[in-house]
Amino acid sequence: MVLGSHFKAPLFVAIAVSFLAGCNEAPPSKPDTSLRKVEENPRETPAREVAPAGPAKLTVRDDARALYLRGCDYYKAHDYLTAQDEFQRALLLDPNYTAAWNKIALCYYARHMYSDEILAYKQCLAIDPEFEEALLNLGHAELARDHLEEAAGLYSRLLKKNPTHPVALFNLGLVHHDLGQLDR
């Protein structure tokens, strides 16, 4: 018996589900719905200005970020529908907000809306083809659907950017094993 020959797609699903990027934080006891400001992510799109709200001038980007953070709080509290609504509101303000696309895909996953999950990851990657979390999570989603070649391609793309990514390395090895490509 070859080591690992007992691994089949159900194991992939269990492994993939346990490593979904962005899902490893413990939920707070109550969602923090305050609007808070954090440092900007250089991956995010430039802000478009809106009318000032008080002494500081707010931007659409600030508003989208506040909605995104509220969505994250609801997600951590396992209120996936409300989190999804907040991420959708953020995307209405900034359709190129890659982090919001990734998180909304996680909400779809949690709500068993797998086709929508995959579409959201693909939208995220259309905006930023090197977004690591979306590459990893879409790889997991394709793996769960037993689309091994697609999953291998996504894990390989991630490994080109981050050659030591442990989850991508592990899952790519399992995919190659199941495809009978033991020489890779």
Q: What is the 3-state secondary structure (H, E, C) of the chain?
A: CCCCCCCCHHHHHHHHHHCCCCCCCCCCCCCCCCCCCCCCCCCCCCCCECCCCCCCCCEHHHHHHHHHHHHHHHHHCCCHHHHHHHHHHHHHHCCCCHHHHHHHHHHHHHCCCHHHHHHHHHHHHHHCCCCHHHHHHHHHHHHHCCCHHHHHHHHHHHHHHCCCCHHHHHHHHHHHHHCCCCCC
Contacts of 99 (CB under 8 A, 6+ apart): 41, 43, 44, 68
pLDDT digits (tens, 9 = 90+) for 113-145: 999 999 999 999 999 999 999 999 999 999 999
Give pLDDT, residue 180. Answer: 85
Is a pLDDT exceeding 70 seen at residue 49?
Answer: no
Q: Are 98 and 122 in contact (CB under 8 A)?
A: no
Is a pLDDT exceeding 50 seen at residue 32?
Answer: no
Q: What is the C-alpha separation between 39 and 172, in angstroms, rounded?
A: 34
Nearest to 140 by CA among 23, 22, 21, 25: 21
Is a pLDDT exceeding 50 seen at residue 70?
Answer: yes
Name beta bridge partners: 49: 59
Give pLDDT, residue 79. Answer: 97
Is a pLDDT exceeding 50 seen at residue 33?
Answer: no
